[in-house]
Amino acid sequence: MKKIVLLIGMFILGGAFFTINVNAEADNSHPVSTNGNRLRYNTPYRLRDKNLPHRNPVTFEAWASYDYAVFGHHATPGYRGGTPIIIESTTGKTGFIDSNDPIAIRSTTSNWGGWVYWDVTNSYLANSVWLTNRRVPIGHLVGNSRDRSVGIGGMTFSSDLGFPLPTYLELRGSDANKSWMTFRTVTQNQFIMPPINVRRTPFLLTDA
């Protein structure tokens, strides 16, 4: 392997009862772009974090010889910015993306050819998203019809307490000096996905 890190395998399951205390945002609407069009597989989009309006769309940046997903430093009026991403189905679907579909995400370019797929890691004791050469599930995509935002999250196992525990993992941007793509985790007793209406939807997708 090119990168020796602790990778988190995303095991994707269907919705079931789940106890989690978050701001309910997602609904059962179809995921759409900011212009209201339904999202499609294998189509380039620019991804922003609605909670980071002062940042440009997501791009990538090399750190320790590997690319990581990061939001542009400062939003500039009229500047589209960022690096387009493409959403792929992990089940072979094409066409429109439905709410709660399991997906993979790839960058349209990178510093290392072929190393373009997003994957989560907590290497160097930091939750982040790096670019790998393997297409891996990054989570489920859900939509929010109220502000046309989307969320990405899925089930995994974490070992923060020294032994594997089922954990819900959800992508988000970090409002730090450098805004890395990161994620939050919620440890649970059962390996089941939370209902759609308790998942956060921090991202806005615009046509590239």
The total of other beta-carbon atoms located within 10 Å of residue 29's CB is 15
Whole-angstrom distance, CA of residue 50 vs CA of residue 43: 21
Whole-number pLDDT of residue 76:
64
pLDDT for the residue numbered 3: 45
Q: Please tell me the predicted confidence (pLDDT) of residue 78.
A: 62
**What's the confidence (pLDDT) of residue 11?**
41
pLDDT at residue 122, as a whole number = 82
Query: What's the CA gap between 117 and 104, in Å, rounded?
Result: 7
Decide: 170 and 139 in contact? Cβ < 8 Å.
yes
pLDDT of amino acid 23: 47
- Residue 79's pLDDT is 64
pLDDT of residue 162: 72
* Residue numbers of the chain with a pLDDT score lower than 50: 1-24
| Token representation of residue 76 | 């500039």
Q: Which residues pair with 84 in a beta bridge?
A: none
| Helix%, strand%, coil% for the chain, nearest 5 | 5, 40, 55
> Mind giving me the DSSP string for the chain?
----S-B---B---B------S----BSSPPB-TTSPBPBTT-EEEEEETT-TTSPPEEEEEETTEEEEEE-SS--TT---S--EEEEESS---SBPPTTEEEEEEES--SSTT--EEEEE-GGG--EEEEESS----EEEEEETTTTEEEEEEEEEE-TTSS-EEEEEEEEE--SSS-BEEEEEEE-SS--BPPGGGS---EEEEE-
CATH topology of domain 44-207: Trefoil (Acidic Fibroblast Growth Factor, subunit A) (2.80.10)
Cα 178 to Cα 46, 56, 74, 78, 135: the distances in Å are 19, 12, 10, 22, 26
Single-letter amino acid code for the residue at 171: L
Query: What does the alpha-carbon distance between residue 76 and residue 67 come to, in Å, rounded to a whole number?
Result: 23
> What pLDDT is recorded for position 18?
37
